[in-house]
């Protein structure tokens, strides 16, 4: 513990943001870096708990008290080594993770928790600015060849770990650039794509090969990939979008959130042109779905110049504080407002969309809703009850469906004759499918989840693959050793 009374002497501080009227003029990141002295104070708030729950709350098992103490002592390079020992890409999680570690922070029982995510972000940014983060090439090669399908965070993490072990790794991506949903699903105001490119360049220097604009099953047959590699690791994600099949669903102006977000990201990153039907400019926009993707749609719509933005969520409005049914250290189901919500949106809870309204030409003009309530019974799932007389028509020109995903695409899985569960995910045992040469990790294996879980899955799958190929593995797991990226 660096400072005995740090958690008493210092209040929690988080990043400040550029004012809304300024940041809405562009898609750039808008957080303001605290000075190093303030970051060191925030590290000093860590209590060095007898039983720290923070890294239990973290899917990666990050050694949070250790890097907090190093920051407190101004030993930033040591902090970077500690952070990188469990997390390949803290520059991603430091920006995008909802920070379950902070929800499990013991200090959070009596005071605001330690600003773990902010500290993590600026440890790695300090590492890049100082030139400490360099390619770590393997000392020898094993002669084993591994194909990784999908370049999202799970695929990237697995590729780096397997490359460390000395295997030859080739990552296949069907889009034009590397990153998966990091690149095409996350708006630039949350993650500028140069941050991805910076890390990918290091991975290339370490010896990983990336092949883009190549879809397995179309441009390259899965049988060819299977035959030419010792292992195939599937990290393609859960990409089947959930629809809303109600009357009027075929109206022009109803858009899937990922199509909307991807188009805007490609405009910035790939210099593509705006698809007119995906432009929120001067439109009354309704976003259906209250999660992170819905929030991203709100922020993007406002930056595109939407006339108004309304947000629907079918669930009740969460409480501001934990309920008795939701105790610490579990993830708190409490009211959360993102920076996008603060930029302008009319949020509505307990509301169900019943019908899309269109004109004679098939163009969307509005939608009908009804208010709902959730009836709870002991030992039964809550029942959705529509409130009589609560119907309402909402004029709108553009509806964005941010309803999540139902599972992975089946094409590759079927061609490999893999066993699947009821959600079309491949059945696995320690990341291995029923075919011993085929492994799976990330959303394709566990369903739609967090970036921090994807990185964890990639790391754990890499360990199992290395063990499968070599008989044993020196790669780190959550309970075994570390592999520093900084010398």
Does residue 11 fall inside a structural domain? Answer: yes
Judge whether 185 lies within some domain. Answer: yes
If asked whether residues 334 and 418 sit together in one domain, one would say no
In angstroms and rounded to an integer, the radius of gyration of the C-alpha atoms of the chain is 23
pLDDT in tens, 302-351: 999 999 999 999 999 999 999 888 999 888 999 999 999 999 999 999 99
CB of 13 within 8 A of CB of 28? no
* Nearest-angstrom CA–CA distance, 76 and 424: 44
Q: pLDDT value at position 1?
A: 60
Residue listed under structure tokens 């010896």 = 207
**Does residue 481 carry a pLDDT above 70?**
no
The residue-averaged pLDDT of 273-285 equals 95
Label the pairing between strands 351-358 and 364-375: antiparallel
Q: Are residues 394 and 260 in the same domain?
A: yes
Beta-carbon contacts of 314 under 8 Å, excluding residues fewer than 6 positions away, are: 350, 351, 352, 372, 384
Angle at CA 175, nearest 5°, toward 191 and 187?
20
Average pLDDT (209-213) is 98
How far is residue 388's CA from residue 405's CA, in Å, rounded to a whole number?
31
Question: What whole-number distance in Å separates Cα of residue 342 and Cα of residue 340?
Answer: 5
- pLDDT above 80: residue 487: no
Give 118-143 pLDDT, tens digit per residue.
999 999 999 999 999 999 999 999 99
Question: What is the pairing mode between strands 308-313 and 284-288?
Answer: parallel
Q: What is the 3-state secondary structure (H, E, C) of the chain?
A: CCCCCHHHHCCCCCCEECCHHHHCCCCCCCEECCCHHHHHHHHHCCCCCCCCCHHHHCCCCCCHHHHHHHHHCCCHHHHHHHHHCCCCCHHHHHHHCCCHHHHCCHHHHCCCCCCHHHHHHHHHHHHHHHCCCCCCCCCCCCCCEEEEECCCHHHHHHHHHHHHCCCEEEEECCCCCCCCHHHHCCCCCCCCHHHHHHHHHHHHHHCCEEECCCCECCCECHHHHHHCCCEEEECCCCCEECCCCCCCCCCECEEEHHHHHHHHHHHHHCCCCCCHHHCCCCCEEEEECCCHHHHHHHHHHHHHCCCEEEEEECCCCCCCCCCCCCCCCCCCCCCCCCHHHHCCCEEEECEEEEEEEECCCCEEEEEEEEEEEEECCCCCCCEEEECCCCCEEEECCEEEECCCEEECCCHHHHHCCCCECCCCCECCECCECCCCCEEECCHHHHCCCCHHHHHHHHHHHHHHHHHHHHCCCCCCECCECCCCCCC
Chain mean pLDDT for the chain: 94
* Shared domain check, 385 and 422: no
Which of these three, 403, 431, 453, is where a domain ends?
403
CA dihedral 354, 257, 340, 314 (to 10 degrees): 30
DSSP string, 219-272: TB-HHHHHHT-SEEEE-----EE----STTTT-BTEEEHHHHHHHHHHHHHS-P
Distance set, CA 114 to CA 58, 80, 162, 325 (Å): 14, 18, 33, 24
Whether pLDDT at 484 is above 70:
no
| Residue where a domain terminates, one of 367, 384, 403 | 403
Please list, residue by residue across 452-472, b when 16 or more beta carbons sit within 10 angstroms of its beta carbon and e when fewer do. bbbbbbbbbbbbbbbbbbeee
For residue 239, pLDDT over 60 is answered with: yes
- pLDDT for the residue numbered 27: 97
Domain match, 185 and 303 both: no
Unique residue bearing structure tokens 């902010």: 118
pLDDT attached to residue 2 = 63
Shared domain for 257 and 378, answered yes or no, is yes
pLDDT at 478 over 90: no
Shared-domain flag, residues 254 and 383: yes
What is the pLDDT averaged over residues 39-61?
92
More confident residue, 199 or 270: 199
Residue at 174 is within a domain: yes
CATH number of the CATH domain containing 100: 1.10.1060.10
pLDDT of residue 373: 96
In percent, the amount of the chain with pLDDT more than 70 equals 98
* pLDDT above 70 for 449: yes
Same domain, 178 and 84: no
- The answer on pLDDT for 268 being more than 60 is yes
Side-chain half-sphere exposure of 257, counting CA atoms within 13 A? 31
Is residue 119 domain-resident? yes
CA dihedral for 262, 264, 266, 272, sign (positive or negative): positive
Answer yes or no: do 257 and 191 share one domain.
no
**pLDDT at position 482 over 70:** no
Residue 275 shares a structural domain with residue 320: yes
Residue 352 pLDDT level (bands cut at 50, 70, 90): very high
Q: What is the pLDDT of residues 23-36, one digit of tens each?
A: 999 999 999 999 99
- If asked whether residues 181 and 224 sit together in one domain, one would say yes
Last residue of a domain, one of 130, 159, 193: 130
Tell me the longest C-alpha to C-alpha distance in the chain.
71
Distance CA 297, CA 260 (A): 8
Domain of 335: which CATH number?
3.50.50.60
| Residue 340 domain-assigned (yes or no) | yes
Q: Are residues 83 and 181 in the same domain?
A: no
Number of domains the chain is built from:
3
Residue 417: which of 430, 441, 436 has the closest Cα? 436
Residue 485 has pLDDT above 50, yes or no: no
Nearest to 78 by CA among 44, 115, 45, 127: 127
Residues 247 and 391 in one domain: yes
Kindly state whether residue 66 falls inside one of the protein's structural domains. yes
Do residues 377 and 383 make contact, with C-beta atoms less than 8 angstroms apart? yes
Alpha helices, H only, 88-221: 90-96, 100-103, 116-130, 153-164, 181-184, 193-206
Residue 369 belongs to what domain range? Answer: 243-403
Q: What is the mean pLDDT of residues 74-86?
A: 97
């Amino acid at each position: 513990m660096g400072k005995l009374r740090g958690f008493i002497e210092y209040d929690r501080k988080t990043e400040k943001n550029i004012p809304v009227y300024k940041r809405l003029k562009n898609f750039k990141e808008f957080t303001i870096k605290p000075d190093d002295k303030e970051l060191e104070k925030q590290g000093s708030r860590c209590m060095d708990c007898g039983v720290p729950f923070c890294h239990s709350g973290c899917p990666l098992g990050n050694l949070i008290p250790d890097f907090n103490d190093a920051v407190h002592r101004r030993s930033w390079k040591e902090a970077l080594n500690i952070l990188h020992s469990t997390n390949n890409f803290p520059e991603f999680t430091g920006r995008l993770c909802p920070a379950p570690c902070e929800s499990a922070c013991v200090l959070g029982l009596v005071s605001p928790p330690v600003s773990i995510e902010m500290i993590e972000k600026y440890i790695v940014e300090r590492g890049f600015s100082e030139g400490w983060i360099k390619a770590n090439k393997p000392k020898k090669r094993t002669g084993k060849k591994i194909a990784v399908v999908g370049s999202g965070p799970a695929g990237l993490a697995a590729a780096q770990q397997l490359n460390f072990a000395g295997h030859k790794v080739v990552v296949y991506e069907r889009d034009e650039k590397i990153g998966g949903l990091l690149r095409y699903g996350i708006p630039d105001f949350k993650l500028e794509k140069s941050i991805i490119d910076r890390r990918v360049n290091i991975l290339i220097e370490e010896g990983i090969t990336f092949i883009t604009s190549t879809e397995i099953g179309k441009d390259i047959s899965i049988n060819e990939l299977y035959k030419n590699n010792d292992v195939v690791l599937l990290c393609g994600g859960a990409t089947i979008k959930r629809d809303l099949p109600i009357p009027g669903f075929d109206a022009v102006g109803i858009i899937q959130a990922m199509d909307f977000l991807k188009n805007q990201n490609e405009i910035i990153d790939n210099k593509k042109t705006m698809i007119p039907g995906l432009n929120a400019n001067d439109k009354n926009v309704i976003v259906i779905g209250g999660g992170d993707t819905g929030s991203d749609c709100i922020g993007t719509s406002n930056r595109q110049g939407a006339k108004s933005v309304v947000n629907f969520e079918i669930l009740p409005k969460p409480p501001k504080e934990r309920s008795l049914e939701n105790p610490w250290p579990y993830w708190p189901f409490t009211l959360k407002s993102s920076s996008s919500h603060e930029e302008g949106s009319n949020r509505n809870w307990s509301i169900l969309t019943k019908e899309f309204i269109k004109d004679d030409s098939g163009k969307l003009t509005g939608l009908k809703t009804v208010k709902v309530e959730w009836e709870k019974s002991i030992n039964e799932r809550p029942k959705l009850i529509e409130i009589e007389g609560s119907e309402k028509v909402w004029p709108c020109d553009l509806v964005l469906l941010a309803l999540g995903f139902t599972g992975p695409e089946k094409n590759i899985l079927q061609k490999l004759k893999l066993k699947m569960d009821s959600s079309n995910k491949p059945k696995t045992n320690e990341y291995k499918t029923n075919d011993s040469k085929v492994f799976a990790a990330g959303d394709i294996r566990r369903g739609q989840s967090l970036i921090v879980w994807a990185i964890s899955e990639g790391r754990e799958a890499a360990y199992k693959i290395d063990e499968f190929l070599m008989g044993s593995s020196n790669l780190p797991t959550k309970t075994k050793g570390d592999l520093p990226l900084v010398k």
